[in-house]
């Protein structure tokens, strides 16, 4: 079994231990790391809090378990030293010298070794029939309707016409505008099917969670809304039987640490994750979540209303697993101009289409950093409401050569004044901009008239409903 970053998180007892192991691997804690010629044994000494270094030993006997031993006194197994040695082998195999383990080391594993099963990865086993293969195709492409409709055809051909109908109805509703005439009849049909078959379709959801644990989306349970404890306890089973791709982590009294989720392999199926609302109190929780390789598939991340500050944003910028993000909500996360500028300079945001920075302390410097960031060339929506962007910042945004794809800009409550409004009203400023929200910006009649001329009749009335 080849050591990988995913393997470390599959055997780690919790996110905190995995993060501690990562820090050891990235530092200079290990001396003379060794690996057996067949790759089944890893051993090294590791500096720790004791006078003598710890002796760390890892045996990889097969794909479903690892055995570890360490002279440290930690009650957690694998301990952070064993996890760090595994990560070092995954990230820097060139540092290891080949050497067969001695008879004493082999005997030590037999006597002191602790065996840890490898948590199964989210990929399912080889399909046993056509239906299972079609279901796996839905899990692999959760945002695509085509596999769902093909599965619906298969269900109908195999005697489950009502479930097939439900999938088709929800897929059609997802495509329609909210006020479409066709929608009323479809929603009536959806409700009838759901009432008749709800218990059957929720058979794999624990009964105490059926009241409101998530949402059916285009025929299947696609979103979970649960506290950390429930996710850790039931997540693997729910993901096995449903093509879940969105999770909203809920807060609650006695909430388990969010870092516990970092070692859950089912997170690899996620496309959207919300940790909003104060769940990330303390850098340890945030660091462990950002570092987990199971979030590499995310396209949407909401961490709004958490006190991340400059340190938290720097941790996010350093993550190698979040380069696919298309939507990022950093509203109310205590961000400053300097923190935002550093983040934009250190992060690959080439896929980003939506960025919410509302209710922070972003001013003219932050607006200038946004305007000058080449990695935001694909941005479509930008939220800066509730910040301190003044005339200089508005002018910088208006003159940006990198925000040419921007369609929506929220500056609610920002003191851009008439000078900033006039800059944004220029025809060549952000040429593709369709929606500009400047409510509460203290603008006067002439400036608003210029904006109305630029963005179309009715804007003035919308901004001043009285």
* Residues 278 and 303 sit within 8 Å (Cβ to Cβ): no
More confident residue, 1 or 166: 166
Token pair belonging to 78: 């694998």
Note the pLDDT tens digit of each residue in 358-379.
999 999 999 999 999 999 999 9
Rounded Cα gap, residues 445 and 451, in angstroms: 10
Going 286 to 292 to 294 to 300, the CA torsion angle's sign is: positive
* Cα–Cα distance for residue pair 382/398, rounded to 1 Å: 13
pLDDT at 214 over 90: no
Average pLDDT over residues 341-365: 94
Terminal Cα-to-Cα distance of the chain (whole angstroms): 69
pLDDT of 270 > 50? The answer is yes
Residue 320's pLDDT band (cuts 50, 70, 90): confident
How crowded is the C-beta side of 241, counted as CA atoms within 13 Å? 11
Q: What is the pLDDT of residue 165?
A: 97
pLDDT score of 127: 65
Q: Per-residue pLDDT tens for 149-190?
A: 999 999 999 999 999 999 999 999 999 998 899 999 999 999
User: Tens digit of pLDDT for each residue in 5-15?
Assistant: 999 999 999 99
CA-closest candidate to residue 350, choices 331, 376, 368, 371: 376
Cα 101 from chain centroid?
A: 40
What average pLDDT score do residues 429-447 get? 88
pLDDT digits (tens, 9 = 90+) for 74-127: 999 999 999 999 999 999 999 999 999 999 999 999 999 999 999 887 665 566
Residues in the chain: 466
| pTM: predicted TM-score of the whole model, two decimal places | 0.90
Q: Which residue has the higher pLDDT, 322 or 83?
A: 83
pLDDT at 256 (0 to 100): 75
* Least confident among 65-79, 84-98, 195-209, 445-459: 445-459
CA distances from 264 to 11, 230, 267, 299 (A): 10, 12, 6, 18
Contacts of 219 (CB under 8 A, 6+ apart): 148, 152, 163, 166, 167, 168, 170, 171
Would the pLDDT of 279 be above 90?
no
pLDDT at 466: 45
Residue-wise pLDDT for 127-157, tens only, equals 678 999 999 999 999 999 999 999 999 999 9
């Amino acid at each position: 079994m080849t050591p990988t970053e995913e393997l470390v998180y599959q055997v780690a007892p919790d996110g905190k231990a995995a993060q501690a192991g990562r820090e050891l691997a990235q530092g200079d804690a290990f001396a003379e790391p060794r690996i057996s010629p067949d790759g089944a044994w890893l051993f090294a000494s590791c500096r720790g809090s004791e006078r003598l270094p710890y002796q760390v030993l890892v045996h990889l006997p097969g794909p479903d378990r690892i055995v570890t031993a360490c002279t440290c006194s930690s009650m957690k197994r694998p301990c952070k030293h064993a996890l760090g040695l595994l990560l070092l082998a995954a990230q820097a195999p060139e540092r290891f010298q080949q050497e067969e383990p001695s008879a004493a080391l082999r005997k030590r594993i037999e006597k002191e070794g602790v065996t840890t099963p490898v948590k199964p990865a989210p990929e399912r086993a080889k399909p046993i029939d056509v239906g299972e293969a079609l279901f796996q195709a839905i899990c692999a492409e959760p945002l695509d309707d085509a596999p769902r409709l093909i599965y619906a055809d298969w269900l109908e051909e195999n005697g489950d016409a009502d479930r097939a109908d439900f999938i088709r109805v929800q897929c059609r509703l997802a495509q329609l505008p909210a006020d479409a005439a066709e929608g009323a009849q479809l929603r009536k049909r959806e409700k009838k099917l759901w009432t008749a078959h709800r218990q059957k379709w929720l058979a794999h959801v624990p009964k105490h969670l059926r009241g409101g644990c998530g949402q059916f989306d285009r025929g299947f349970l696609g979103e979970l809304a649960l506290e950390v404890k429930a996710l850790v306890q039931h997540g693997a089973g729910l993901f096995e039987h449903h093509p879940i791709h969105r999770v909203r982590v809920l807060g609650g009294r006695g909430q388990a640490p969010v870092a516990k989720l970092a070692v859950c392999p089912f997170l690899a199926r996620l496309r959207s994750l919300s940790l909003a609302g104060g769940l990330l109190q303390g850098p340890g929780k945030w660091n462990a979540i950002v570092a987990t390789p199971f979030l590499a598939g995310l396209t949407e991340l909401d961490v709004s209303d958490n006190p991340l500050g400059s340190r938290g944003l720097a941790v996010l910028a350093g993550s190698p697993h979040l380069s696919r993000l298309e939507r990022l909500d950093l509203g109310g996360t205590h961000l400053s101009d300097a923190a935002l500028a550093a983040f934009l300079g250190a992060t690959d945001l080439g896929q980003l289409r939506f960025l919410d920075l509302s209710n922070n302390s972003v001013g003219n410097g932050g607006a200038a950093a946004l305007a000058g960031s080449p990695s935001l060339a694909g941005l479509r929506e930008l939220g800066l409401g509730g910040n301190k962007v003044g005339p200089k910042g508005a002018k910088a945004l208006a003159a940006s050569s990198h925000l040419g794809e921007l369609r929506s800009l929220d500056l609610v409550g920002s003191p851009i004044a008439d000078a900033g409004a006039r800059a944004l009203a220029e025809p060549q400023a952000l040429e593709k901009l369709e929606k500009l929200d400047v409510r509460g910006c203290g603008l006067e009649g002439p400036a608003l008239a210029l904006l109305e001329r630029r963005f179309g009749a009715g804007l003035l009335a919308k901004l001043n409903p009285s």
